Structure 1
């Protein structure tokens, strides 16, 4: 992840930036974020062209021209790749221009703004004029997903194609006649993500995704699909515990040996429940609270939930064998869950994160108060199995 001192300062103090952005409601350069652009000085500064639109009707042309140039640019010309991607990203989210310029400036690039299409001839830029708006919208939505999600080298192409087909289908576009891969070279994708996939920028991208969900169709339809894909990003350990253990009132949560982790999980759960957008907590909440859902706060619970989750995803095996390096407490808690759940004839559901909708703040308090009382009485595993926790109303 790209983290520069000045960028981190802005990240930790982004309250000065408005909570919500509005699509094309004010001139790009008048956003408060424009005042925070940091310019580096020295001989290592490289000047790059950043394309900005001076005619909104030309947005699709500028976007496709930037992508065409990006795909044709050699991997060795990194600064040009960054600038072209930034130009394309601004076409998708115009209000983020100052934030995108900030990222470029902090990477040692001084931006020279080129207004398109009016200055295209002056700068010898040949515009791509033959691309349907819906196709451009799908590619733009893919770029937003690409920056938030983390596809690996092995699965990048399959994920990108899967996203593209779903996005296109959501607005009624056929998927067999066009190439829906915005950036063909995975090495370029990796390079771009190293610079642009940072917490600071992703926060604003997520806000714009939410804003676009409220626009008219087909944009609202498209970005509701995007919002569905990126929900619960960065919350893997937390959601696994919620789905696999909390949703079935697993006795694992009442075991004295992990009480300290359960307490941390309860704080995280309440913080997520109280947040305006629980499913985007990691991306939108302040860094001072997002640490609550990190895996290292409840590593044993997370590993137990992971093993059970892996088992329930396999129709052939009721439980997948744990790895040799798993600690004894993990293995014992997996077995505890297995005996208790099977004893109650309750099937462990495949993860759907229903717990965030099924349980209230008050119920969560009841569960963890009971947990503390059980731990203080030092109940044995056998007693816990025979006398499961009271049902949460």
Structure 2
């Protein structure tokens, strides 16, 4: 049974046990449709084992403990809203969740440390520079580093599925490198930086096809470092274009350039961006199908989470290149996602966006609200507003 804290934190930093009036105030996040979802985000009850992950078909929130890879996105979304609005109510509410994420710093059985810890505790640390949060981040980076094999040059992704692979590395893993880069800056320990660079270099060399699309899963020989197989776990097939995977790569290599200023990573991010932006099957509103080779296009399910990731990454990429095409494309995405077509409507649940596709091969989390779509959407809004350029 989880530990439950009723209500939300008020702006003065005190937990009032249910300040619904404060939660129902109007906050300007993006537009009226998006802003209308904010009370639902704020009034969700704090519970140690009930991090909101997605919306079930019956409208009930799917809740997960901190071991789930998505646990960091809801508190992280609250922190993004703090950045957008400047109102501490969002930061206060996020901080109530952080103690229940902290134990993941010791979880060596997952590569998702960045998603879980950095998107929540890492984002909170950027605001407060709290020493305790710093210690959690450093331990999380140490734990993640234990999954690195120098022969392979990459961090191992999964421990399950040994009947399918031996040393799987998935494109998603690029997103967890931010934790290592930050840990290196905080601690001065270059080993974290070196692991992240090695992983990025090998992913750039091995995960990408000639057209700059990527595979989802590579299976390495842990003794020789050779790639033994190319697979997928969430795409249509091994050679298809799983949309969220393309987003993980775009975001990941853009982020790697931020920390390294290595032109190879910047150029690779630009190649990925060009591939995404020139997809012949891309819908006019720039919200991709879950897989760009999906058989039922144009009636295939969309994936709003992919669009959110694209937008956030493209805004950052724009800051390094001043390429107007990135800004324009990301603006088109944000405009689309803010439309009523994609905003969750009339459901009491802690989500903003609808119509994401989680795991199509397993028929799980299809055409629904998912926490990471909101996180990257809000981060994209934060980044767009920081540009101070009119849309």
Same structural fold, with TM-score higher than 0.5 when normalized by the shorter chain: no
Which TM-score applies when normalising by structure 1?
A: 0.28
Which TM-score applies when normalising by structure 2?
A: 0.28
Larger Rg: 1
